[in-house]
Structure 1
Amino acid sequence: MNHPLHVGVLALQGDVREHLEALLRLGVDAVPVRRPAEIAAADGLIIPGGESTTMIKLARNFDLLDPLRDRIAAGLPTFGTCAGMILLADRIIDGTADQTTLGGLDITVRRNAFGRQTDSFETDLALTGLDTPVHAVFIRAPWVESVGPAVEVLGRVPDRADLGPAAGRIVAVRQGALMATSFHPEVGADGRVHELFLDLIRTR
């Protein structure tokens, strides 16, 4: 890829500004995405944290569902964080009765697995591709219950007794051009997780 990276952030709801700022700090041409033409122009796409049911309803209202699904299926590098992980998952546990996803990741996620917003927590975790642990912030986050054979597990919550049912849970995955984390890498100034995604774009 010879031109500067042009990365979109799905701008329907959620942590859009924080992701845009993280990308801009890394020298990327980062733009909010609200229209099919903007999806078509992107070299990569971030689906931010927010409220997954609200985001999918807005995507339907803005006629973005099919363009998103088509480009993801065609190999658009896409990074989902928190609610974005839910939207990329093929299967959801504890979703609403009518909840749908964009799909693409052969994973089963448990929605709001870490509890309510007051149960949110932070921890350091090792992530494949990074030399030192990343400080991960989980806010009403999902976790991954199971993965298909083509999915690479990039990170798990430390397997410590004090972390209760979250201990050892899968919270970062990659499959082909798709990547997802349960936590919010846009919180804080550590841009290494976003850089992992940019590397994924560059190698396509």
Structure 2
Amino acid sequence: MVKWGKFEEECGKLTKAREVFQTALEYVGNEEEQLEKAQAIFNAFAKMETRQKEYERARVIYKFALSRLPRSKPNALYAAYTQFEKQHGTRVTLEATVLGKGRIQYEEELSHDGRNYDVWLDYARLEEGALQDLRGEDATAEEEEQVYGRVREVYERAIAQTPPGNEKRYWRRYIFLWLNYALFEEIETKVNQLCFCISSG
């Protein structure tokens, strides 16, 4: 199907090429082998739109593909999307792409070991970095609150993973996580009441 779509594009029949890619995607199943084919089709479709300087269409295709495919699968597609944003996007869209990729990687690692506090700390720092970036961009109060919420959600999910047993090595990282959360609330959001509750809890 990819070759057929490229053939139609080379013949100058863009509408037909789009139909070929869309039809191919309708017939792709959810089995692992089929998902590999879907990535190739999405990638070829987006690249065709890029060659035609239809950057917004290509962006929509990449985003749709990444939302549809399982998180463990789209590494090659994310790499292509990141490259696309580097070439044709803005700083904001590129940062959003990198942030999304980081989230997927951290979620994947945490799905294997939810008590890996180093990963939780890195994940929280990623979200805190997004908050810092947002501040420099004339963000609305609603946008800032949404990002604050994401940082808090990561910390709340992390502290819900209490260490097993009484071994100090686990508890040190866990306490460090709590302290980072308290500092975030104290410094970044200036919510002293919540900080007091965290440190006394």
- Shorter-normalised TM range: under 0.3
Query: Bigger relative contact order, structure 1 or 2, given CA contacts below 8 A and separation 6+?
Result: 1
Q: TM-score normalised to the size of structure 2?
A: 0.27
Please identify the structure whose Cα radius of gyration is greater: 2
Bigger fraction of residues in helix: 2
Q: TM-score normalised to the size of structure 1?
A: 0.27
